[in-house]
Amino acid sequence: MAMSTAHITTDHGKIQEWARQRGGKPAEVEGTGDGGPGVLRIQFAGDGEGQSLKPIRWPSLFRKFDEKGLGFLYQETTETGEPSRFCKFIYAPRGVLARLLSEHEDVRQTLEAMAGSTSRASRKRGRLLESLKKDLLPHMAGEEQVVYKAVRKACRNDRQIQTVLEGYEEHRHARRALQRLERADPSSAEWSTRQKVLKELLEHHIADEESEFFDLAYELLGADGLEELQAGYSAKEQSKLAAIS
């Protein structure tokens, strides 16, 4: 089973252990004064060519990590089950982003359970699909109508606007893939194929959201702005849930 999804942590011990197991060392990019999350890095033997990475000590990395309010996005294993070196420092999810993150975790778990189900377990597949719908549709409605909308308004250039528009586009694909899965017989090969397509689509979308979109949202709205979006998001989610139940 693929366990290639990325996780976010702020736990210093966890970060250090993850890096140690892979021979990674704490480092920072030299000569950038902007102070964004990308300044801190984990350096592996053989990489960093052409980049001016400066080794730093763990206490110094964690001081900056805490000061900037960062989180660590990382992957345990790759698609093929090898230890993954994928990692990135990002702004730790605040306000409404923390809520989105925990809902993503629910969606990922349901997707894993669906992938692990057999064609003989039609009823179970039906229940899992129902639970995915109830998690996913209100989540996407809340994102689009509250979070994406607020971020879109605050965008200052085309690249930022494109990041938001990609989110809407990926939601459209996800809704279509979900509808196709609903129309398939849970004991058929079509169901398994459509489930796989939906899972890949959603995992890709969620990973993009947690790295690029979360960073953009934090950059444009700040911790206070993200805090303020919480109530509106909950209300939108509730009304969507009522509409589909």
Nearer to Fe ion by Cβ, of 209 and 215: the residue is 209
Instruction: Supply the minimum distance, in Å, between the C-beta of residue 168 and Fe ion.
Output: 9
Nearer to Fe ion by Cβ, of 166 and 190: the residue is 166
Instruction: Supply the minimum distance, in Å, between the C-beta of residue 207 and Fe ion.
Output: 10
Nearer to Fe ion by Cβ, of 28 and 170: the residue is 170
Rounded Cα distance between 21 and 107, Å, is 29
Nearer to Fe ion by Cβ, of 25 and 171: the residue is 171
Instruction: Supply the minimum distance, in Å, between the C-beta of residue 104 and Fe ion.
Output: 6
Q: Which helix (H) or strand (E) holds 189?
A: helix 189-208
| Residue 25, strand partner residues | 43
Give the SS3 label for residue 67: helix
Q: Which residues bind Fe ion (CB under 5 A)?
A: 143, 209
Q: Are 61 and 51 in contact (CB under 8 A)?
A: no
CA distances for 225 relative to 8, 168, 219, angstroms: 21, 21, 10
Strand pairing category for 70-75 and 6-9:
antiparallel
Instruction: Supply the minimum distance, in Å, between the C-beta of residue 209 and Fe ion.
Output: 5
Instruction: Supply the minimum distance, in Å, between the C-beta of residue 225 and Fe ion.
Output: 18
For residue 216, the tally of other CB atoms under 10 A from its CB is: 20
Nearer to Fe ion by Cβ, of 24 and 167: the residue is 167
Nearer to Fe ion by Cβ, of 86 and 168: the residue is 168
Instruction: Supply the minimum distance, in Å, between the C-beta of residue 139 and Fe ion.
Output: 6
Rounded Cα distance between 163 and 152, Å, is 9
CB contact set of 79 (below 8 Å; sequence gap of 6+)? 2, 4
